[in-house]
Amino acid sequence: MPGICLQCGMSFSGHTRHCPKCDNALDQQHDGSTITVDIAHDGERVRDALRKMQSEIDLARKGVAMNIRLVVGSGLIRDEVQLALLDLQFRGNIKDFDLDPANAGAVLVKLK
């Protein structure tokens, strides 16, 4: 996957972990942005929502976004998403998460 180091502007290709020019950790770079994804309002069952959540987190972690906001609603999907996020946090796959202060039906996940 080609990319550009946000620190020095050097182009790189492949799955390089550190910039070949400035040695900055590329997987920790972010632009401060937040991606929003609805995983619960298209008829998803819990397992479908969890699968969708994992796919979206994996995709977002490869980019430069700092956060991903998961719109989960206020029921069972939200509860199960929080449990799954606890596991991802324990494993080091995400930094942190919490309910979105502006919307209790969304969870804000800090990726980097």
Asked if the model's pLDDT at residue 111 lies above 80, the reply is yes
| CB 106 within 8 Å of CB 74 | no
Alpha carbons 101 and 64: distance in angstroms, whole number = 23
How many beta carbons lie within 10 A of that of residue 35, not counting itself? 17
Evaluated on CA atoms 10, 31, 91, 79, the torsion sign reads negative
Q: Give the sheet arrangement for strand 103-110, strand by strand.
A: 34-38, 67-71, 103-110, 96-100
Specify the residue for token string 């990319």. Answer: 3
- List pLDDT tens digits, range 19-74: 888 898 877 777 878 999 999 999 999 999 999 999 999 999 888 889 999 999 99
- List pLDDT tens digits, range 77-95: 999 999 999 999 999 999 9
CATH architecture of the region 31-110: 2-Layer Sandwich (3.30)
- Map out the domains of the chain as residue ranges: 1-28, 31-110
- Report the chain's mean pLDDT, rounded to a whole number: 91
pLDDT value at position 1?
60
